[in-house]
Structure 1
């Protein structure tokens, strides 16, 4: 009994000293960064860039704990979950106009992170359509075919603005089987996504293929989106990305991940159709795209 009382008194003494000094081990601030997975071709880069931005700001902000969530939420539900800020509080996606109650709950960090590369699109078709796709030399010919896109993707409005028929009734995970079932003629994905997503989602026994030398381009800046409930995180990411942009570490990481895609869009003889698309009305950080990529001949529009 005496030993129990002594132990209790010691514990109470330690607690009272800690409380009176304001110290408690569990009170050390930690910034929880809960990232929602993106497509396979982008995830590693975006996750590393997110960590880079956090590391660039370790002296000015709390310690952080970075994790990722890879549930297949879909674009619309994913943004609702992001706005709530509980399960996830940051993800990377094309910038959008801030319209409606949902978008008011999402802060878009105004620094594009993919150097304009996401605007270069490759086409996935059924293999038996490859010969016909090889003969296309004008945008008018492509506009006779229907493109498949995911529900609520910002690309849908861009295609329709430019006179392209669109089927946007599926999610990314279902678009490949829909293409095989001839629900539309081709699927358009980013040059850094097309081959990897096809490898993952090719239907069993499927015969889908990437058109090798035909590209579309439209401005499609990708940014980090953060729940407004995590406004300190949004502030931190903007500060960290500015530093990574200014010291060259962001572009170095970008080129290390996407050298193959950069070479592909610069190849001799590639066909490129440029679509018109206005940039979202955001407070863009000046010169935040990588100039060498944006000066690519045929995309200066």
Structure 2
């Protein structure tokens, strides 16, 4: 019995020695097994690596589009390309699905997102919208929705060339959409404005001389310049009105997965330059033609963006 106890003791001792030796190797000076104490962060995986590693199911992402207005559809093409870019860099598998809808005002879009008609839309941000939906705060137009060039009557250029202050601009009457975020900004600055529910109707008001100018973003005005060839209107040559404004992607607040995908993908696209490649493909030529840097700039001193706008990230905003 004593002999058996000794054998058991010898086996137990051998096991202990083996375990101790293995543990010692883990903490030895061997660089292949040593626990790192370096402060250098581990590099994040690339989007391609994440896609290869993930076993998560593909995400369906639905967006609205209408082919009924060719001038607005040019913007839709840009937004969809940026949406596809962001999702491709998110590290998740996805499919894009277009939801065909009649042309509608942006203000109605929150209802469609909340009703699950589609998942994401690009919208000019405002306080009420950010209370209902989740914004992805990367300005898709690089803030150029707030750089405004005017449509005027063709024989009014001399009058506008004489304007060099907001006080003189207050002597003119603008037209804006009745539910556009810009409209209250003009009213706050005591800039006379008439409103309309119709994009076509605003051009008609200008042509009929019921108003003096129709401010359009620097990214819109070039596409729209030939929308009504029978009207005697032209692009004003000397002025640019500026105030902070941004188009963001918006999703349902409960759709945190899509929000995270879009934010991750957009930030990666900004960082690697692919965002700017698409932006410049669509807009660089027309911005050069508008010569924003040479125009007299009138700034509206307004708090036009909701809290949280990334104004400190200068790489996100256009600078002439």
- 1:211, CA displacement in angstroms? 0.8
- Does structure 2 conserve the Cα–Cα contact (< 8 Å) formed by 1:115 and 1:289? no
- For residues 135-174 of structure 1, the aligned pairs below 5 Å read 135-174=162-201
1:258 to 265, 283, 286: 283
Tell me the secondary structure at the aligned position of residue 155 of structure 2.
helix
- Does structure 2 conserve the Cα–Cα contact (< 8 Å) formed by 1:36 and 1:90? no
Higher relative contact order (CA 8 A, sep 6+): 1
1:238 aligns with 2:263: yes
2:125 to 95, 113, 126: 95
For the structure 1 residues 103 and 291, does the alpha-carbon distance in structure 2 shift closer, same or farther, using more than 3 Å as the test? closer
- Does structure 1 conserve the Cα–Cα contact (< 8 Å) formed by 2:65 and 2:76? no
For the structure 1 residues 103 and 285, does the alpha-carbon distance in structure 2 shift closer, same or farther, using more than 3 Å as the test? closer
CA distance in 1, matches of 2:233, 2:135: 35
- 1:277, CA displacement in angstroms? 2.2
Q: Which 5+ residue runs of structure 2 have no aligned equivalent?
A: 1-56
- For residues 210-249 of structure 1, the aligned pairs below 5 Å read 210-228=235-253, 230-249=255-274
- For residues 284-295 of structure 1, the aligned pairs below 5 Å read 284-285=309-310, 287-290=312-315, 293-294=318-319
Tell me the secondary structure at the aligned position of residue 236 of structure 1.
helix
- Does structure 1 conserve the Cα–Cα contact (< 8 Å) formed by 2:89 and 2:269? yes
State the Cα deviation string for residues 262-281 of structure 1 (Å, max 9, x = none).
32454664222111121433
CA distance in 2, matches of 1:185, 1:41: 27
Structure of higher CA gyration radius: 2
- Does structure 2 conserve the Cα–Cα contact (< 8 Å) formed by 1:36 and 1:91? no
For the structure 1 residues 83 and 103, does the alpha-carbon distance in structure 2 shift closer, same or farther, using more than 3 Å as the test? farther
- For residues 1-301 of structure 1, the aligned pairs below 5 Å read 29-36=58-65, 39-40=72-73, 42-57=75-90, 59=91, 61-67=92-98, 69=100, 71-86=102-117, 88-97=118-127, 99=128, 104-200=131-227, 202=228, 205-228=230-253, 230-264=255-289, 266=291, 269-285=294-310, 287-290=312-315, 293-294=318-319, 296=320
- Does structure 1 conserve the Cα–Cα contact (< 8 Å) formed by 2:147 and 2:240? yes
- 1:34, CA displacement in angstroms? 1.5
- 1:190, CA displacement in angstroms? 0.2
CA distance in 2, matches of 1:174, 1:227: 32
- Does structure 1 conserve the Cα–Cα contact (< 8 Å) formed by 2:84 and 2:96? no
- 1:179, CA displacement in angstroms? 1.9
For the structure 1 residues 263 and 239, does the alpha-carbon distance in structure 2 shift closer, same or farther, using more than 3 Å as the test? same
Tell me the secondary structure at the aligned position of residue 148 of structure 1.
strand
CA distance in 2, matches of 1:151, 1:229: 30
- Does structure 2 conserve the Cα–Cα contact (< 8 Å) formed by 1:149 and 1:167? yes
Tell me the secondary structure at the aligned position of residue 39 of structure 1.
helix
CA distance in 2, matches of 1:110, 1:271: 29
- 1:224, CA displacement in angstroms? 1.1
- Does structure 1 conserve the Cα–Cα contact (< 8 Å) formed by 2:174 and 2:215? yes
Q: Which 5+ residue runs of structure 1 have no aligned equivalent?
A: 1-27, 297-301
CA distance in 2, matches of 1:208, 1:265: 16
State the Cα deviation string for residues 61-101 of structure 1 (Å, max 9, x = none).
34222325462211323343333231x3322222211x3xx
What RMSD, in angstroms, separates the aligned Cα atoms of the two structures?
2.7
